[in-house]
């Protein structure tokens, strides 16, 4: 057996890591969208779906805290944030499904660009939403107390980072290293 007859196959798991990144991004995005806490303060909580305040009577610790909540879907910037985040999640879901199907069927190379475009589109949508949210919240806030952006908002950024990582990994041309002549 000569050297020419020996073929070495080196397994490079870039696309599997990219698929895992996209899956994690999708999971983080769903949890961020459903999170009840994007902004919290004393006696105040704001999510993408509702704003809640604790009643003054319950603040004296003698009674159970009574929270009154109302929908945030009457505010244009909160609707815009929600639409951008949902569009990013849908784009990420489409990228995940295309990547999963193409990896399972062995037609990976033909669909990598499409997956990367879906993911980079989702990154732009998410980043716009996550920048818009604190700017408009601080611009229109009437809170006179310390407030902080909570774990729901942080999960949104985490999802965006995983989307970006997956998009970059799907852009890498690893197929040239898998060629037998390399």
Write phi, then psi, for 62 (nearest 5 degrees).
-90, -20
62 within some domain: no
57 within some domain: no
| Structure tokens belonging to residue 170 | 């799907």
pLDDT band at 177 (very low <50, low <70, confident <90, very high): low
State yes or no: pLDDT of 40 exceeds 80.
yes
pLDDT, averaged across the chain: 82
**pTM score of the predicted model:** 0.80
Mean pLDDT for 155-159 is 95
State yes or no: pLDDT of 171 exceeds 90.
no
Length of the chain: 182
pLDDT band at 172 (very low <50, low <70, confident <90, very high): confident
Mean pLDDT for 157-170 is 94
Domain count, the chain: 1
160 within some domain: yes
| Structure tokens belonging to residue 168 | 């970059």
State yes or no: pLDDT of 180 exceeds 50.
no
48 within some domain: no
Write phi, then psi, for 39 (nearest 5 degrees).
-135, 135
68 within some domain: no
Higher-pLDDT residue of 136 and 156 is: 156
Counting residues of the chain whose pLDDT is more than 70, the rounded percentage is 78
Q: How far apart are CA 40 and CA 135, in angstroms?
A: 16
77 within some domain: yes
Burial class (CB in 10 A: 0-12, 13-18, 19+), 85: buried
pLDDT in tens, 78-92: 899 999 999 999 999
User: Can you give the pLDDT at residue 97?
Assistant: 94
pLDDT band at 179 (very low <50, low <70, confident <90, very high): very low
Query: Domain range spanning residue 88?
Result: 13-38+73-171
């Amino acid at each position: 057996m000569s050297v020419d007859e020996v073929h070495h196959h080196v397994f490079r798991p870039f696309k599997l890591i990219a698929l895992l990144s996209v899956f994690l991004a999708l999971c983080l995005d769903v949890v961020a969208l459903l999170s009840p806490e994007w902004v919290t303060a004393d006696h105040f909580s704001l999510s993408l779906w509702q704003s809640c305040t604790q009643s003054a009577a319950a603040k004296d610790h003698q009674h159970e805290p009574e929270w009154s909540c109302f929908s945030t879907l009457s505010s244009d910037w909160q609707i815009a944030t929600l639409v951008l985040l949902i569009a990013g999640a849908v784009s990420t879901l489409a990228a995940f499904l295309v990547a999963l199907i193409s990896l399972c069927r062995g037609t990976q190379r033909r669909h990598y660009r499409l997956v990367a475009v879906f993911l980079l589109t989702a990154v732009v949508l998410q980043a716009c939403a996550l920048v818009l949210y604190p700017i408009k919240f601080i611009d229109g806030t009437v809170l006179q107390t310390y407030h902080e952006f909570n774990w729901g908002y942080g999960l949104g950024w985490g999802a965006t980072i995983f989307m970006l990582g997956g998009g970059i990994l799907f852009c890498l041309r690893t197929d040239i290293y898998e060629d037998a002549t390399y």
